[in-house]
Amino acid sequence: MRFVVQRHRARRLHYDFRLEIGGVLASWAVPKGPTLDPQVRRAAFQVEDHELSYYDFEGVLPAGRYGAGDVIVWDAGTFEPQGDPGQAVKDGEIHFDVYGEKLRGRFVLVRTRQGANGKWEWLLLHKRDEYAVEGWDAEDHPRSVLSGRTNDELL
């Protein structure tokens, strides 16, 4: 199964964390980006599923369109869920191993509550494993794994 993380500068910078589950890209917006630091918990907000064709999208979404802004493929690879990933998302807790170019190791997404806007709020965590790196920050790794460009270089 595939995963992709897109660095997306829309109204605010965020990282779209997407897992291929059930023929779609199940998606979470992660404002500060994923991390390999097991001591850090990242807020994640479940957003609408995306079509699989969006997996390798990189470019600029025009003004006036949903998600307007620039997007790069920040990381991509495969993931291996523990158990049935669709059921795990429905149950509010999915554990999975990631094999990307930047991200590696055991992650978990845990649903915490439903926000005032009706969207589910989650936490994205990296477990303590051989890939854990204290202090690791996504912003220290700004280039696309597809094109090698940064968001600024798209414009």
Tens of pLDDT, residue by residue over 69-117, are: 999 999 999 999 999 999 999 999 999 999 999 999 999 999 999 988 8
State the Cα–Cα distance between residues 62 and 44, nearest whole angstrom: 25
Mean predicted lDDT score pLDDT of the chain = 96
pLDDT average, residue stretch 41-46: 96
Q: What is the pTM of this model?
A: 0.96
pLDDT of residue 92: 97
User: Where do the DSSP E strands lie in 10-151?
Assistant: 13-21, 24-30, 41-50, 59-61, 69-81, 93-100, 104-114, 120-126
Beta-bridge partner residues of 8 = 14, 71
Domain positions in the chain: 2-154
The model's confidence at residue 155, banded by pLDDT at 50, 70 and 90, is: confident
